[in-house]
Structure 1
Amino acid sequence: MKGEDNIDRDRYQVLRAGWLQKKGVYGVLIHIDLRGEKLWVQYDGTEVGVANELMEAGIPKTDIVLAYHSPFIRQYDDFAVG
């Protein structure tokens, strides 16, 4: 977009790409946005859960938003609401 060439968007993704049998595979495994002081987990396709890994790395639950949950559900998930 015009005028946005140098804007940092603070969006991070982990992708997988390769082959499964004879078929090419490509997709997002993790998508996290940084908004203010919070980590917004937009998508988590891992078994362990990226939020758990973030907590093990020392990031408190109050700084992690499970954005893939609706705002209504977030009030009950023990993480930041937003």
Structure 2
Amino acid sequence: MAEFLQRVQSVVWNRKLIRTAKGHYLGLGPEKTEVGDGTDGKPVYTLVGEAYVHGKMDGEAIDFQVENQILVEKFELE
């Protein structure tokens, strides 16, 4: 049990529980994640770290993009 709890702690340490804007998906995001990130339409974003969103990590996000004909958006990191 102690080993399991250590693994869980290492995964969630310095993470925040996040949910999508419509509340359909939950995940874990960086400690610096703030309410409204990604929804304000600003042309400049700050990368604060990786995130895990349950139900969108094994190709489901790409499948959704294709099924709904969502265009790919290119951006450059400086």
Normalising by structure 1, report the TM-score: 0.27
Greater fraction helix: 2
Select the structure with the greater relative contact order (CA < 8 A; seq sep ≥ 6).
Answer: 2
Normalising by structure 2, report the TM-score: 0.28
Greater fraction strand: 1
